[in-house]
Amino acid sequence: MLQSKSITTKMNLVDILRSHRGQFSHILGYALTNDNARQLNLSITNTELLNKDYETYVSKLDHEHYVWLGGYGEQRSIYNSSSLFSDVDRCIHLGVDIQLTPGTSIFAPLAGKIHSFNDNAQPYDYGPTIIIEHELNGHTFHTLYGHLSRESLTNLKIGQLIEKDQLFCHIGNREVNGGWPPHLHFQVIEDMQNNIGDYPGVASKKDAPIFLANCPDPSFLLGFPNEPIIYNI
């Protein structure tokens, strides 16, 4: 279990990320702007999701003109059908989901090294996952990339250097990504708490404040044009 004593340190990381905003490379190879990106509300406030399943709802979006980004800190109901989440009431999303087509290239927003990787193949898990360790202004933190292709893990080595703006992985299809509509789960993690190739991407409401402190908003690395919406817990 994470300890709340770390929250002050986490705020330091937020300030560092905010101060470097606009200096990170584009994770999709191009900038996300108000013209090409839209917020995807997957929270319990979206009443449309009450009448449609997640996959059907996402499939009806305008993917031709927009990149859709699922929110950080959302309380979601889409995990209710999976035993991976329901046994501990995990419903608070700790990263940003970017809806993408299988095979889409993903680029490193800043330099780092491979911390760990794994194919988390359980249904509704991450599927192939890569975690990169970074250092910025003397502060160590990590970025997690989930729902990748299996080929993305080929020839990776722990400690392998990843350059800023390097193409290092691709989005997987639902046959390998845990069974989800294809997307990237992107998450910032300060303290990995001895996790290897995996880290919770969803927290219970009870534990959410501690997990959200250890996993600050990744929007600063994505170059969002506006401050992100943080959903009430």
pLDDT digits (tens, 9 = 90+) for 56-113: 888 999 999 999 998 899 988 766 555 544 555 778 999 999 999 999 999 999 999 9
Q: What is the pLDDT of residue 146?
A: 98
Residue 162, φ and ψ in degrees, nearest 5:
-120, 125
Asked whether residue 5 carries a pLDDT value surpassing 60, the answer given is no
**Strand 67-70 vs strand 96-99: parallel, antiparallel, or unpaired?**
antiparallel
Mean pLDDT of the 22-27 span: 94
**Which residues, other chains included, contact 4 with Cβ-Cβ below 8 Å and sequence gap of 6+?**
209, 210, 213
Q: What is the pLDDT of residue 42?
A: 87
Which class is 4-221 in CATH? mainly beta
Q: What is the pTM assigned to this prediction?
A: 0.89
Q: Residue 176 — very low, low, confident or very high, per pLDDT cuts 50/70/90?
A: very high
Asked whether residue 192 carries a pLDDT value surpassing 70, the answer given is yes
Q: Residue 6 — very low, low, confident or very high, per pLDDT cuts 50/70/90?
A: very low
The domain limits of the chain are: 4-221
Asked whether residue 143 carries a pLDDT value surpassing 70, the answer given is yes
Q: What is the pLDDT of residue 230?
A: 45
Q: Cα(126)–Cα(186) distance, rounded to whole angstroms? A: 11
